[in-house]
Structure 1
Amino acid sequence: MLQPKIQPSDGLSFRTCSVFIFMVLQSVGEPSQLICSHQPIVALAGDDVILPCHLEPAIDVRSETVLWTRTDLDPKYIHVHKDGRPVYRSQNPSFKNRTALFVDELKNGNVSMKISKVKISDAGKYVCILDSMMKDASIQLTVGVVSTPVVEFVSNQSREVVLQCEAKGCYPEPELFWLDAEGNLLSAGPPETVRGPDDLYTVSRRLTVEKSDSFTCRVQQKNINQSRETHVYVPEPSQLICSHQPIGALAGDDVILPCHLEPAIDVRSETVLWTRTDLHPKYIHVHKDGRPVYRSQNPSFKNRTALFVDELKNGNVSMKISKVKISDAGKYVCILDSMMKDASIQLTVGVVSTPVVEFVSNQSREVVLQCEAKGCYPEPELFWLDAEGNLLSAGPPETVRGPDDLYTVSRRLTVEKSHSFTCRVQQKNINQSRETHVYVPDARRRRKRREDEKTKDETLL
C-alpha cells in the first residue's frame, strides 16, 4: 500500500499538525463548568478567607470579566475584574481594599476570591459570574465569633457549690453545656442568652454540685463547627476555721486573730465582717468592695484593726488588732455573709507583773519572806517553790482588785534553813508566768548581818 509522502514544502511539520489537531479536539469537547464549593465556607471574624471557585476543565480567563456579587446588598458588586485589572467604581464600599483575585491563577481557570479581615456582616451568599461565557455559581460564607467560657463560683455553701459559666461576644448563637469528668452531659439550670446591639450573643448557665469533682463548661457553635471549653475543679466545700484555742495577748502588744477558709477560696470580692455581739456598735472591722469601711466601726477600735489584704486571695481572713487593751478581751465572730459562713474566736488580754520578794522577818531560827505582784490581769496565781521546783506550803494568797481592774496578789513563806527559793506568778488564761529567785543565808550569817545592821544604826545615832 502506498503511503502519502509529506514534503517540507507543505509548510507544516508533523509536530505542528499534531498540536493543531489537539486544539481542535479540545475546542469541540465537553464545555467547562464553573464550580464553587458546595459546602459553606466558615471563617472567624478578623481572619482572611478564600471563596474557592474554578472552571473545570480549566480555561484561561485572563481576558474575561470576572464578577463577584451579593444580591442582598446594594450595590451588589463585591469584586469586579475587567481588562486584566480590578475595577472599584461600582464596588460595595464595605469591601473596599478587602477583596482580591489570584491574578496569576486566572490562566488556569481559578477565579477564587479572597476577603481580608472578615466581618460578621460579610456572611451571606456570594455569586461568581463569567458574563461573556454565560456562567455563574454561588457559594455560602458563614462568619463566626468564638469566645472561651469563663467559670466562677457563685456560691460555696457547706453542702453545695453553685458554678456559673458565661461566654460573651459569640456569633452565631451558641449552645452551652455542663459535662462531668467523664464527658457526660449534666442536668443544669436553663441557659440565659442575650443578644447585644453589636449582634453578638452572651450565654450563661448555672450548675449546682454537691461533691468534689472536675467539671467542664463547653460552648458549641455548630454552624461554624467551633467549640471552646473551660475546666474547673470543685474541692471539698470550704469551711471557715478560726482558732479553737483562745488567743492570749499582753496589753500594748499587737495580736492576730487567725481565721481562714479551708480549702482556700479567693475572697477578695467578698464582704468580710468581724464583730463582737457584746458591743454596740458590734462591728470591729468591715472589708467591702476591696477596701475597709469605717462608717459602722466601733469607735474604740478606730485605726487599730486590719486584714491581710494580699492574703484574701488565699482565703486568709485573719484580723490584726494593734496596741491591745484590756477591754479588747472577748468573743469575736468572723462572718462571710454571701457565703453564709461564720466562726468565732476568743481573745484574752493580760497584764503581767514580775513579783517582788522582801524579807518581812529575819529571826535567828526562821525567816518570813513576802512575794507581791502588782498590776496583773487577769487574776493571777502565786506559788512558792524550793530549789528543786517543788511547791512549798505557804500562807494564803491575798488578792486585791483595784479601780483600774488590775490585781495585786501577795503571799508569805516562812523558812527555817538556808536555801534558794522562787516566787512564781502564773496567769493560765494568757499562758504567762514570771518568777523571782531569792537566797536565804544560814542562821549564823543572818545573825552577823543583824549585828552589822545594829552597829550601823548606833553609829548613825
Structure 2
Amino acid sequence: MKMLVVFVILVHVSQHASAVVLYEGDHFLLPCEFPTFELDNPTVVWSRYDLSPSTVHQRQKEGDELKNQNQLYRDRTSMRTDALETGDLSLNLTKLQLSDSGTYTCSVTSAIWREKRVTEVQLQVKERFPSWAKALLILLVLLVVVLLVTGVLLVHFRQYFMSVYQVEVDSGAESVLLPCKTTVCLPGDIKVEWRDRDNWEVHVYPNGSDQPEKQHQFFRGRTEMKRNLLKPGDLSLTLKYPTDEDTGTFTCTVYNREGNILMKKQVELKVQVCQVEVEEGVESVQLPFRTTGDLPEDTTVWWTDSYRLVHKYQDGSDQPEEQDQFYRGRTEMKRNLLETGDLSLTLKKPKVRDTGRYGCRVYDMEKNLLRGKIVLLQVKDRIQDTDQTVDIRNRSSSTDPTPLMADQSV
C-alpha cells in the first residue's frame, strides 16, 4: 500500500502555513536560513525533542558530526557542504517514513552565543487512501464542507474557545498591547514576569516596581506596564515598535512571595513582515528600520540578503571593504544612526535582480543580538521613466513612520 505525506511549515514571521503532498520513498527539504557566516565557529543542529537522542543532523565548521544522530535517520539526512558559509541551513530528508512525523527544530550556536532556535517545521506522514476508497470521495467532500463551516464559526468565536489569546499587528506600528487581566484580588508582594518564546525575560515587575536590569537587552527600553496595576488587576504589557523578530508566544506568570505560581496566561503575537515594493529605474529605495537611539557606541549593524553581506557599520563608520562586490557603491546609511536609532538602508539604482529578503541584525561588542528586522523587497520591471527617490515603508501599516525619539524602541 502506498503512502502519502502531508507537512505543515510553521514560520515565525508568517501567519499562513503551507501544505504539500508527497509519497513514500520521496524526499523533503526542511527549510532554514540564518546568517551563520557572521558567527564565530557556528554549529547547526536539527532536532526532534520527542526522540532520544534528539539529534537528527548536526553540522560544524569541520563538516557533519553524526555520532549523536538518532539511528532512525541514519544515511537519510544531508546538508549543503557550504551551508555555514551561505546561511542556507536546509536539511534534506530522504526515504520518508511514518515514524518521521514530528516537529523538527533548527538551532544555531556559536562559541560566544547561546542556542538560538531559528526555525520549526512540523512534518506529518500519513497513509494514502486505497484505490477502493474512491467511492467515499462524495462523503469526504460533504465532510469537508461541514468542517469548513465549523472552521468559520470557530474563527469567529475563537476567543471563546482558545486558551491562548492572539494579537496581530503591522510591522511599523508604534506599539502593541499584550493583554493579561484578572478579576481576582492579588496580594501586594507578588512578582509579575513576562517571557517570550525563547524564555527570555521580557519584563519583570516585583513588589510594585519595574526592574529593567533583569530583562533581556533585546527588550530593554521597549516594554511598559501600567502603574498601580494591582488595583485594576491589569497585568497587560505594552511592547513598543514590534518587528517580525517579536513574533511568537509571550507568557505572563504571577508568583507569590514563596515563589508559587498564582496565575499564568499566554498571548500569541503575530507581526506582519515589512514589505517594500518599487519599480526598476528609480534613483533609490529605502529599507526601513527605526529603533531606539540608546544603542552603545560599540554596536555593529549588519544588513544581509539571503547569502551576501549588503552593508556593515562598525566602530562608528561604514565598512565598504567588507561588503559584497555586488552592492559596493550602492548602499548608504544615515549619519549618527546610533544616536537617532534610524538604521534604515538606502539601496541605489535597484534592479529586478535585487528582489529578495533582506535582514538587519544589530550586535554589541560581545556579539549579543540587540535588535533585528526582516524586509522583503520587490523590484518590478520598469514601466516608465522616473527620476526620483522612493521611500516605501510597511505597505500593510496605516501608521505614518516618523523618526523615533530616544525613549522609543523597535
Tell me, yes or no, whether TM beats 0.5. no
TM-score tier, shorter chain, comes to: under 0.3
Instruction: Give TM-score, length-normalised by structure 1.
Output: 0.25
Larger Rg: 1
